[in-house]
Amino acid sequence: MSGIDVIYLDNAATSFPKPPEVAEAILEFLTHKAGNPGRSGHSLAVAADAVVAETRRSLASLLGVRDPSRLVFTLNGTAALNLAMYGLLRPGDRVVTTSMEHNSVARPLFALAERGVDVIWLPCAQDGSLDLEDLDRALRAAPTRLVAMTHASNVCGTILPIGAAAELAHRHGALLLVDAAQTAGVLPIDVTEQSIDLLAFPGHKGLLGPTGTGALYVAPGVHLTPMQQGGTGTHSELLSQPDELPFALEAGTVNTVGIAGLSAALRVLKATGIEAVRAREASLVERLLEGLQEIRGVTVHGPLDSAQRVAVVSVILHGWEPVDVGAALDSAFGIAVRPGLHCAPLAHRTLGTFPLGTVRLAPGYSTTDDEIDQALVALRELSLSAG
Ligand SMILES: Cc1ncc(COP(=O)(O)O)c(C=O)c1O
């Protein structure tokens, strides 16, 4: 159990519980450090600036970013993705993306297509995997500005091959934008080694920070047009937005309170180690998948091999609509899951689960084996009665 009386299996939406250090750091920040970073020379402004700078450094070290100033804080994963795509793409540009994308990639691209950006949607297989030959073929077909793809599906957990995609994209003169919403903090990511040009991620999922946090990494040489202009605390004599990162893309006061919480979460994550997180989540997924396969009337979507997926498991319970399973798990068993389309209608079309969607079970690092077993008992009970 996770602090309150619920078995929380909705970590793909936002992680819970947060490490206690997160709330402690937020309280400490609000009580002792809550000036406006970079805006004044007094002690509270300096203290706030130090927290923001330290968090940027911690993220850089976690993600293989050589220059922390190339990490721009945003309010969530969606804002980082929008900044990347609207900042980069112009009418006439071509983008290749996949059929497994979350609406935070798909909707901006759909809107950009209406403004004259050419968007190519690559169909993925029914287990959510991407055939790299399809990507290669799409890139050969015409000059492409950007490949935009998720690192792992938020519907069925399938991991997409971002390293190979980066190689292909670069061979054909395109940049790679990775949506790391489901992988930052749970899979090793090194933007330098993996040659990722743009990495967008929230702070409130696998990174264990509070909501209202996220960031975009922008590789050297990649220029994005700011979506907002405004105060940065630097070059105040100029009416134009400063060119240097992060300020070029970070107008206005950042979410210092959230960043203070994220900073504490990153310290916990560093002490734990991403490999330990990955191993623990893989073990929970194996336990869950094994149990699910023993329940008659349950279909599991996505790969059965834990090495090919993150801890996001989608199921259908025959005779039940996903929304009713979600309600029954909540009301009768105190289990929090997410039913439906998970903001990813294209992914559900790919899996063949549109329009009703699936029931998504997403354990996290602090989920216990017993909680997985209780979820399995509950699903087995539901499977014996009709929805
Ligand atoms: C794959 C994927 N991309 C983007 C997002 C959007 O992230 P946020 O909710 O932080 O805006 C999510 C959130 O669920 C996601 O799962």
Query: For residue 1, is it within any domain?
Result: no
- The mean per-residue pLDDT over the stretch 193-202 comes to 98
Sheet holding 214-218, edge to edge: 71-74, 214-218, 198-202, 175-179, 146-150, 94-98, 118-122
The neighbouring-strand residues paired with 340 are: 358
Average pLDDT across the chain, whole number: 97
Same domain, 260 and 335: no
Q: Which residues make Cβ contacts (< 8 Å) with residue 60, sequence separation at least 6?
A: 66, 67, 68, 71
Give the tens place of pLDDT for each residue, 278-288. Answer: 999 999 999 99
The neighbouring-strand residues paired with 120 are: 96
Cβ count within 10 A of residue 356: 14
Q: Which of 223, 243, 272 represents a domain boundary (last residue)?
A: 272
Q: 18 CA distance to ligand 1 centroid (A)? A: 18
Counting from 1 in the atom list of ligand 1, the atom nearest the Cα of 202 is 10
Give the tens place of pLDDT for each residue, 119-130. Answer: 999 999 999 999
Residues annotated catalytic, as ranges = 343
- The candidate with the shortest Cα–Cα distance to 219, out of 190, 240, 241, 247, is 190
At residue 387, the pLDDT reads: 64
At residue 39, the pLDDT reads: 82
- Helical axes 162-171 vs 132-141, angle rounded to 10°: 20
Does ligand 1 have an atom closer than 6 angstroms to the CB of 183?
no
At residue 5, the pLDDT reads: 87
Same domain, 169 and 58: yes
pTM: 0.97
Q: What is the CATH number of the domain that holds 327?
A: 3.90.1150.10
**Owning domain of residue 291:** 7-18+273-384
Same domain, 248 and 301: no
Does ligand 1 have an atom closer than 6 angstroms to the CB of 258?
no
The neighbouring-strand residues paired with 37 are: none
Same domain, 68 and 205: yes
Does the pLDDT of residue 240 top 80, yes or no? yes
Same domain, 12 and 41: no
Does ligand 1 have an atom closer than 6 angstroms to the CB of 214?
yes
At residue 48, the pLDDT reads: 96
Same domain, 163 and 304: no
* End-to-end CA gap in the chain: 27
Q: Which of 252, 272, 292 represents a domain boundary (last residue)?
A: 272
Instruction: Identify the three-state secondary structure at position 72.
Output: strand
Give the tens place of pLDDT for each residue, 295-331. Answer: 999 999 999 999 999 999 999 999 999 999 999 999 9
Q: Which of 257, 272, 287 represents a domain boundary (last residue)?
A: 272
Does the pLDDT of residue 59 top 50, yes or no? yes
In which band, very low, low, confident or very high, does the pLDDT at 2 lie, cut at 50, 70 and 90? Answer: very low
Does the pLDDT of residue 1 top 60, yes or no? no
Q: What is the CATH number of the domain that holds 76?
A: 3.40.640.10
With the C-alpha atoms ordered 12, 16, 20, 24, is the resulting torsion angle positive or negative?
Answer: positive
